[in-house]
Amino acid sequence: MDAYRLYTLGLLVKKKEKFEKKLEALFDDIKDENNHRVRWVYETNKEMEKLAAELANTIHQIEMLNK
């Protein structure tokens, strides 16, 4: 694997880890909140869906670099 691909792979792995930490933090926030905050939970779920889509895209990019 050439240096550029290795560097790019490293950046993508760091990005993936960052998204995973954000998703984990959001899940922790939901667990800590009461159910009466339905609106907040709805908005958080929308944000998690966006982060999950970005994470899936990042994982796909990593897989493509490894081919």
In DSSP notation, 27-48 reads HHHHHHS-TT-HHHHHHHHHHH
Distance of alpha carbon 45 from its chain centroid, rounded? Answer: 13
Range(s) of the domain holding residue 55: 3-65
* pLDDT band (50, 70, 90) for residue 25: confident
pLDDT digits (tens, 9 = 90+) for 47-60: 889 888 998 999 89
Split into its structural domains, the chain has a count of 1
